[in-house]
A and B are shown apart, each in its own frame.
Chain A
């Protein structure tokens, strides 16, 4: 039965993603199961089996094949979606670059999970962080509501800028936690995503094209330059789609979200579900008289350089939370990018990096409060003694 009004539903993050996919009704979905993504595609496959969507669901033998099938379908002109996690994303690796290099607007949920070894099925960001140079737009979700909202917006963004988009959600914490999600009427979503329009389609036999031709020294660089331009100019489209979405849903989406940031002196920067924990920690710290605030990164690719600069410019001390160990020996990936964009400022805040929550290690309000207490000492001391730290590890 068609959903006619906005409704509050109790959904896991995975179910919220599957429900968004049902309402998007993509032409092709090719996927392979992997924990913790499996439930997402299982839920969607049920919609296919029940005839509630028109999607051609391609059950493939690996994630490499899943993304390859998506590339073929998207090049053919189909609105194409998939989902994966961890090792599955790792197995897609070379095809991720093909999807973005061919400028195919594929939309993928990535249910973030740690990478082996040691083998672990729980949530951290090592999978998507590793794919940060693959040319995919990355949206990050704090909760199941944002998963639903981001996925619907992702279709529009991908198809307007001709880049694939991954929507990230923390494995288990978001994917398997049941939350109240406000869903939109079917028609509203259908109208919002519209029809996919493409200037090139492989299946348009009246206008034949070659896709994936050899591209050597004389052209490759021009094509990469134009791909980079798509990423460089994607932000206005992301913001425009966010505004339009606010019009239908009443929920606001920007590149970053500031939580009690305006008058904050000490700031935590984070991605994903930890932002929810940080908000509670900040509320408690404010009661204690500590001027704490949060900068939540929703759009990680393209990197919201200007937004971050203006949000952090006047702050005393900033802790950047990395739920992935970059193995650079000098801190995590988010830290490096945040620090780099602060370099141009005359009054730079002191910065410190915390590697946390690896392999699903729990992050409690107390943990985030500890980070803020560290920031209090850093601000008092006026310098950072060791900028590369671990939170919640046994010494």
Chain B
């Protein structure tokens, strides 16, 4: 579903701002909201505790079929840094916030 089709006039849109169809937030790529910093995953330091996945307020961390943490999904990651703050890996965290220029 394409949500950014701005050619639709008022007569064509469903009434009341209703969006027909489910799961439409998938089509809304909110990763563009990220400003300044983005998280980078260092798999070699990762202990697979999945804290980052639990804490991420969006759905920006991929999980493999067998339940392992995979890389970030930057299409939805907003760069809030919560995952990096919560990561318990020692001596160095497995998530690093790095500068990102857009």
Contact = CB atoms under 8 A, between A and B. Distances in A.
Interface of A: 101-104, 162, 200, 207-213, 215, 218-223, 225-227, 229-230
A101 B16 contact: yes
Nearest to B19: A210
Contact of B18 (A210, A221, A225): A210
A17 B59 CA distance: 50
Contacts of A221: 10
B73 interface: no
Contact of A219 (B11, B13, B22): B13
24 contacts: A102-B17, A103-B15, A103-B16, A104-B16, A200-B20, A209-B19, A209-B22, A210-B18, A210-B22, A210-B24, A211-B16, A213-B24, A218-B6, A219-B13, A220-B17, A221-B10, A222-B8, A222-B9, A222-B13, A223-B10, A226-B10, A226-B11, A227-B16, A230-B15
A37 B17 CA distance: 32
B36 interface: no
B91 interface: no
A227 B11 CA distance: 10
B67 interface: no
Leading 9 A-B pairs by shortest Cβ distance: A208-B22, A103-B16, A222-B10, A210-B19, A225-B10, A102-B16, A103-B15, A226-B10, A223-B17
A318 B96 CA distance: 76
A223 B10 CA distance: 6
Contacts, number: 59
Interface in B1-58: 4, 6, 8-11, 13-24
A212 to B, nearest CB: 7
Contacts of A215: 17
Interface residues of B, number: 18
A227 B4 CA distance: 21
Given A222-B10, A225-B10, A209 B17 contact: no
Nearest to A223: B17
A101 B17 contact: yes
A118 B24 CA distance: 49
Contact of A207 (B6, B11, B20): B20
A212 B17 CA distance: 7
A213 B11 CA distance: 19
Nearest to A207: B20
B22 A213 contact: no
B15 A162 contact: yes
A209 B24 CA distance: 9
B16 A223 contact: yes
B2 to A, nearest CB: 13
A225 B24 CA distance: 24
A229 B16 contact: no
Contacts of B16: 101-104, 162, 200, 211, 223, 227
Nearest to A213: B19
A207 to B, nearest CB: 7
A37 to B, nearest CB: 27
B79 to A, nearest CB: 20
A222 B12 CA distance: 9
Given A102-B16, A226-B15, A230-B15, A209 B10 contact: no
